[in-house]
Amino acid sequence: MEHTIQLNDGPLDGVELVVDNPIACRIRSITAEVALDQDKELLDDSDFTAAKYDLYLNEPTASGEGCDLCFYHEESKLLPNHPLAKLRNFLSENDREFWDEWVFEVSMALDACFENMRTNTRDAAEAAEQYRLAKRRLSEVPKLVDEF
């Protein structure tokens, strides 16, 4: 079963990897060391930069075998709209402002939680507080209108 990993934007834009291993569909993030100089014989350890890509979409193929994994560079300007942002079209006009603020606050709290756990300083208390904030805000999900 083949899986295609597509890297979008950043220094590895357009690179596609075909992996014939079922573990490929469990990959959620890829970090690669990219050479800054094209002459590989002149490189030393300081001539590399890290390129981080995060999974945006895991799309099964029509035949049910394998999948396409679309990754975007962490600083991508091409990243498709967040799926939650697309749902705002189904809200009443009065709820859209609340929705935008809600999506922003949940996203920021979860991002802060992740950053506090990921870094070497690991502030567990701050991560827990941000997690509680995100959890509280998630319980306040805006109501969708009937057309949805």
Q: Which residue has the higher pLDDT, 75 or 89?
A: 75
Residues 90-114: tens digit of each pLDDT: 677 777 777 778 877 888 888 888 8
The reply to whether 147 falls in a domain is no
Say if residue 146's pLDDT is above 80. no
Note the pLDDT tens digit of each residue in 14-52.
Answer: 999 999 988 888 888 899 988 876 666 666 666 778 898
- The reply to whether 69 falls in a domain is yes
Per the structure, the count of domains in the chain is 1
Separation in Å, CA 97 to CA 52, 87, 89, 142:
32, 13, 12, 10
**Residue 148 falls within a domain, yes or no?**
no
Domain that holds residue 27: 4-140
